[in-house]
Structure 1
Amino acid sequence: MPVHVERAELPGIGIRHDILTDDGRRLSVVNFRDGGREIAISDEDDPDRCGDTLALTDDEATALSEVLGGSVILTQLAGLQEAFAGLQMEKIPVRADSPYVGRPLGDTKARTLTRCSIVAVVRESGVIPAPEPSDVLRAGDTLVVVGTREGLEQLVRILNGA
């Protein structure tokens, strides 16, 4: 079910985005003009009557968006796997002995050689959705990849230096 997001200008303050949850609570994200951010939970009928707020630093906001965004991407990809015959999603670990550790993702030429798409890199510090070719691979990363079974197997061989 699509989620409706309301946007409200807060004169002199910034912008508030509201999401009404299924259980009737209103989740608001306020982006202040000075760059600050707050998350608030308020009453469904009165977004100005707030139960609690949580101020976030830039790093905290980034980490939260990566965690939430990565979860959404993985859930949506799982649905794709069921929707399209022949399309597979796999989580491929980057081993410590991979020749691509410490090198940019683009060096693997994954898309060109395998026709697979690396849609996220999962690491201890968070998720990188839609990674750039310049993102550097680390030992212990997990690549979330979409492609054919043959392409995925070929990518594993490439990452392992075979």
Structure 2
Amino acid sequence: MSTRRTTLPGVGTQYDFTTDSGQHISVVAHKDGRRFLGFYDRDDPDACLLSVPLTPDEATALSHLIDVEPADAARTDGVDLVTGHIPVTGRSPYAGRPLGDTRARTRTGASVVAVLRRTAVSPSPGPDFRLSVGDTLVAVGTREGVDALTGIIAGG
């Protein structure tokens, strides 16, 4: 499989790859988190047969579905631990606020071990780390704790 990355000024980045079977697929990653999947004609690499727009939440969900090695539960001393990826959307009451305002560990027992941002990864973010729309929190805890934190971040 070959992959090509192209910067699209003012838009984001386009990733093109060709599968071993010869199918050309393109992903356009917009700066605002939106994604577009493009499927191209094998005989005409400029002819897009289908374009599928995805919201940031849809792109995250799809990436989890096609991940060949998903983060499954790990068993530790009789406690099932899971890793969750929690998107910070424009509807989150914590967008623009410090991570400490969530009181995640106190309220749910789950820990935020990293924040994925389009431009960087922040491992072990402290309570002063300011969350932004488009961030993805990587949380570890029980299934119940991670699910509760997902609800808190979503504003539920």
Task: Please give the TM-score of this superposition, normalised by the length of structure 1.
Answer: 0.49
Identity %: 51
1:145 and 2:139 equivalent? yes
| 2:103 aligned partner | 109
| 2:10 aligned partner | none
8 A contact 2:74–2:80 mirrored in 1: no
8 A contact 2:87–2:134 mirrored in 1: yes
CA distance in 1, matches of 2:154, 2:99: 14
8 A contact 2:112–2:124 mirrored in 1: yes
Give the letter for the 1:120 counterpart: A
| 2:122 aligned partner | 128
RMSD across aligned positions (CA): 1.5
Higher Cα radius of gyration: 1
1:159 and 2:153 equivalent? yes
List alignment gaps of at least 5 residues for structure 2.
Answer: 1-70
CA distance in 1, matches of 2:74, 2:109: 19
List alignment gaps of at least 5 residues for structure 1.
Answer: 1-77
Quick check: which one's helix share is greater?
A: 1
Shift of 1:156: 1.0
Give the letter for the 1:100 counterpart: Y
| 2:65 aligned partner | none
Say which SS state the counterpart of residue 90 (structure 1) adopts: strand
Say which SS state the counterpart of residue 96 (structure 2) adopts: coil
Say which SS state the counterpart of residue 151 (structure 2) adopts: helix
Quick check: which one's strand share is greater?
A: 2
Aligned length: 84
Give the letter for the 1:119 counterpart: V
CA distance in 1, matches of 2:91, 2:132: 10
